[in-house]
């Protein structure tokens, strides 16, 4: 089956660098991503668009990218580039998306969206014709979160997903809606039940790394973030996934790296993981 792959960008996020890089000292992580005066780093939000047969399938890392943009209150207000703008560059509109795969349901909202939510003006969910695919175990985690990560699950988003009647819960490694060339790795280190899709192509598998490996610094096994629920488990999962990728000569799509969108991975003489064949974007790549 021939497919086209494109990497899209939505609105990025600013986060505290100490949270993003966990126990890594400031003097080290500040060389990887330069922080602002508040020690915040900018991380992009990327999505993977897979076009196969008559379907447009969107893979998202987190549920905040599902939210429609807030309306501008005046003409002087800056218009921010979002996911719909990336789709428009490919000649697609919101209703052209048939399936949305969410690796997990964490949502880190910007201040404007937080204010709107508090005022009862939560934005609607995008892609009103699409099926929303979420891991079953992760869905129940989101409904009954642990106090440690409760703030990362937004009740209004979960309620809209449930009310849509288009929510599909996946409890295995495959999905009939996507076909036999799709499989899912289940990861518990960042958040229990995160789904990482792997798509078979003629040139090797393509894996969307979600928040297990959000960017090239996290190719180092010991690097974890303050949001990881089980860091030791995450390190083991990273090693297993990256070794699988290397053995099958696949590509890794990075959801948060400021510079690189897709890489191949190798191990050097010290058994450290290194990226090569780096791509800053991907536009209608056929495989």
> Which pLDDT band, with edges at 50, 70 and 90, does 35 fall under?
very high
Nearest alpha-carbon partner for 19 in 3, 37, 48, 43: 43
The answer to whether residue 105 scores a pLDDT higher than 60 is: yes
Number of Cβ within a 10 Å radius of residue 240: 12
> Which pLDDT band, with edges at 50, 70 and 90, does 127 fall under?
very high
CA atoms within 13 Å, Cβ hemisphere of 112: 13
Q: Does residue 287 contact residue 200 with C-beta atoms inside 8 Å?
A: no
> Which pLDDT band, with edges at 50, 70 and 90, does 177 fall under?
confident
pLDDT, greater one: 140 or 116: 140
For 218-228, how does the pLDDT look when each residue is reduced to its tens digit (9 = 90+)? 999 999 999 99
Report phi then psi at 115, rounded to 5: -65, -45
Structural domain tally of the chain?
1
> Which pLDDT band, with edges at 50, 70 and 90, does 25 fall under?
very high
Please give the Cα distance from 106 to 16 (Å, whole number): 16
Query: Structure pTM?
Result: 0.94
The domain of 227 spans 3-286
Please give the Cα distance from 5 to 220 (Å, whole number): 27
pLDDT at position 77? 56
Which domain CATH number covers 246?
3.60.15.10
Nearest alpha-carbon partner for 254 in 20, 46, 31: 46
For 56-78, how does the pLDDT look when each residue is reduced to its tens digit (9 = 90+)? 999 999 999 999 987 766 665 56
């Amino acid at each position: 089956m021939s497919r086209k792959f494109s990497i899209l960008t939505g609105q990025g996020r600013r986060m505290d660098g100490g949270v993003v890089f966990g126990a890594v000292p400031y003097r080290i992580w500040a060389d990887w991503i330069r922080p602002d005066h508040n020690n915040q780093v900018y991380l992009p939000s990327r999505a993977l668009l897979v076009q196969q047969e008559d379907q447009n399938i969107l893979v998202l890392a987190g549920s905040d990218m599902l939210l429609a943009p807030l309306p501008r209150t005046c003409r002087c207000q800056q218009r921010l580039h979002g996911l719909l703008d990336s789709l428009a560059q490919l000649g697609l509109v919101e209703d052209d998306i048939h399936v949305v795969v969410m690796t997990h349901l964490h949502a880190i909202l910007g201040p404007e969206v937080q204010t709107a939510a508090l005022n009862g003006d939560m934005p609607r969910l995008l892609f009103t014709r699409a099926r929303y695919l979420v891991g079953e175990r992760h869905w129940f985690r989101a409904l009954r979160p642990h106090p440690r990560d409760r703030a990362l699950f937004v009740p209004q988003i979960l309620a809209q997903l449930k009310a849509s009647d288009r929510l599909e819960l996946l409890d295995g490694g495959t999905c009939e809606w996507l076909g036999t060339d799709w499989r899912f790795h289940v990861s518990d280190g960042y958040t229990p039940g995160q789904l990482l899709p792997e798509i078979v192509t003629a040139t090797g598998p393509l894996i969307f790394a979600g928040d297990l490996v959000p960017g090239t610094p996290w190719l180092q096994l010991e690097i974890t973030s303050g949001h990881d629920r089980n860091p030791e488990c995450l390190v083991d999962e990273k090693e297993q996934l990256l070794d699988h990728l290397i053995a099958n000569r696949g590509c890794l799509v990075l959801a948060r790296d400021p510079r690189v969108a897709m890489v191949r991975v190798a191990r050097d003489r010290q058994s450290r993981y290194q990226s090569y064949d780096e791509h800053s974007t991907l536009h209608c790549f056929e495989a």
